[in-house]
Amino acid sequence: MPSNVEIKATVSDPGKFAEKSSELSESEGAIIRQHDTFFNCSTGRLKLRDFMDGTGQLIFYERPDTDGPKLSRYSISPTNDPSTLRAVLSDALGVKGEVRKERRLFLIGQTRVHLDTVEGLGHYMELEVVMRPEQTVEEGQQVALNLMDQLGVSQESLVTGAYMDLILKECKET
């Protein structure tokens, strides 16, 4: 199963973060709209990512709900019919919730840097260090920590869990 080392954090100044990411990636980043539907499952997380263009991905992943760099293992299956797949999985498993976001993707070395505007939550960043077969988790964590420093991401801004968890928490508190 492929893996990456991930971190997620809040972003107080998305313009400044985008500027630093652009400098490091030497690109303006790619804008991607995503509608993620999370389904009930007994282990890990199962989501259908709809790219809002007739394509999508069914993604299963497992990772600990801790802040800081953490290992995530995942499986991805592409689909050209996300709406029908969503209906089937909704009937079979039930929907846990949905996340809508606009993502600006930057590639820096082996790391996918996301600047996300999440509907109902605000601005966040994610680092996904795509692990090479020969790399250890510790090496991936060090790549993430170094990039955090370069991007000005503080330990205090780190977030645990997935956007779905944050949305569900917001719903319980209101």
Full-model pTM: 0.92
Kindly write down the DSSP assignment for every residue of 46-107, as one continuous string: EEEEE-SSS-EEEEEEE--S-SSSEEEEEEEEEES-HHHHHHHHHHHH-EEEEEEEEEEEEE
The amino acid at residue 150 is Q
Q: pLDDT digit string (tens) for 36-49?
A: 999 999 999 999 99
Q: What is the pLDDT of residue 170?
A: 86
For residue 174, pLDDT beyond 80:
no
Q: What is the mean pLDDT of residues 78-102?
A: 98
Q: pLDDT digit string (tens) for 9-29?
A: 999 999 999 999 999 999 999
The amino acid at residue 40 is N
Q: What is the pLDDT of residue 81?
A: 97
Q: What is the pLDDT of residue 172?
A: 83
Computed over every residue of the chain, the mean pLDDT equals 96
Please report which confidence band the pLDDT of residue 90 belongs to, taking 50, 70 and 90 as the band edges: very high
Q: pLDDT digit string (tens) for 105-149?
A: 999 999 999 999 999 999 999 999 999 999 999 999 999 999 999
User: Cβ neighbours of residue 171 under 8 Å, at least 6 residues apart?
Assistant: none
Report how many domains make up the chain.
Answer: 1
